Amino acid sequence: MSTSNGQSKTTSAFIVQSAIAFGASFIGTGIGLCYLPLDIWQRGFLAMSLLFLVTSTFTLAKVVRDQHEAATVHGRIDQARMEKLLAEHDPFNTVA
- Give the residue, 3 or 44, on which the prediction is more confident: 44
Whether the Cβ atoms of residue 33 and residue 50 lie closer than 8 Å to each other = yes
C-alpha–C-alpha distance, residues 42 and 95, integer Å: 79
- Is the pTM higher than 0.85? The answer reads no
Q: What is the helix, strand, coil percentage profile of the chain, to 5?
A: 75, 0, 20
Work out the mean pLDDT of the chain and round it to a whole number: 85
> For 1-19, how does the pLDDT look when each residue is reduced to its tens digit (9 = 90+)?
444 455 567 899 998 999 9
Q: How confident is the model at residue 53 (pLDDT cuts 50, 70, 90)?
A: very high
Distances (CA, A) of 18 to 8, 10, 14, 57: 17, 11, 6, 14
> For 62-86, how does the pLDDT look when each residue is reduced to its tens digit (9 = 90+)?
999 888 887 787 777 887 888 888 8
Whether the Cβ atoms of residue 30 and residue 20 lie closer than 8 Å to each other = no
